[in-house]
Amino acid sequence: MSKVLKVDNLHVAIDGKEILKGVNLTIKQGEVHALMGPNGSGKSTLSYALMGHPNYEVTEGSATLDGVDLLELEADERAKAGLFLAFQYPTSIPGVTVANFLRHAVSNVRNPNRKEGEDLISMRDFRKELRAEMDELGMDPDFARRYLNEGFSGGEKKRAEVLQLAMLRPAFAILDETDSGLDIDAVRIVSEGVNKVAAKMSTGVLVITHYQRILNYIKPQFVHILFGGRIVENGGTEIVELLEKEGYDWIRAKYPDAAKDEDELEQNAPAGQLTF
């Protein structure tokens, strides 16, 4: 029986300023959803709030994964429960190799009760699995010996995220603007990796994006538009095609109250600080 990620009437604030104003979203394991919206609409806020970023305060509503209250869990506990976030801007960790990072992460996720200092997954089993996943994703084995994201190109950072996704095997993956900063070839390569992993593990995927191009490769069954801090439209790929042709003008006309909230969010966005 597939698991369900459910967000109900979620309100989220940053520094006392409300960004999300009642988001409702249900994703079943194995489904692919796309979340679109202009800058400042709250897309990244939703991803960070679900993953447990401490600067994003949930003021109302709920978020559950297969009935488990995510909001009561720390970020690492949410990962152990089956939630994964691929960051828009992955952090570099000098001195920690990709392989070492993954070995610890895999050990913690697959053995949630493990305490630091206790046994890691055996090196033999880990190496065998890592090599198999890297082969399937078409990655050079030397990649695993590099320090995580240090000196990586944009495409390499996003491929490292896909490798993490493959090794951690979450029930649900949130891809926060994975196409950001990538050329068309890199978007295709990264998308193909996501598709392979999602099909293999029956992962529920939420693709957060501004643009249609990644959705040409990661094809959603459901499309949602986040505007003014709430989801105002739900449908299929016809929504993507309409946005490509007309932009968000029709959304503004159809939802004037949300348009006012969207304008307010853009005006009050803290420059150079947190991403909404």
Q: In this predicted model, which residue has the larger pLDDT, 116 or 77?
A: 77
Domain boundaries, the chain: 4-90+170-268, 91-151
The answer regarding whether domain 4-90+170-268 maps to CATH 3.40.50.300 reads: yes
pLDDT in tens, 242-270: 998 999 999 999 999 999 989 888 776 65
**Any residues with CB less than 8 A from the CB of 176 and at least 6 apart, and which?**
43, 44, 47, 85, 86, 87, 88, 208
Dump pLDDT digits (tens) for 51-106. Answer: 999 999 999 999 999 999 999 999 999 999 999 999 888 999 999 999 999 999 99
The DSSP bridge pattern shows strands 32-36 and 204-209 to be parallel
pLDDT tens by residue, 138-150: 999 999 999 999 9
Query: Closest Cα to residue 47, out of 59, 65, 35, 29?
Result: 35
Helix (H) or strand (E) run with residue 16 in it:
none
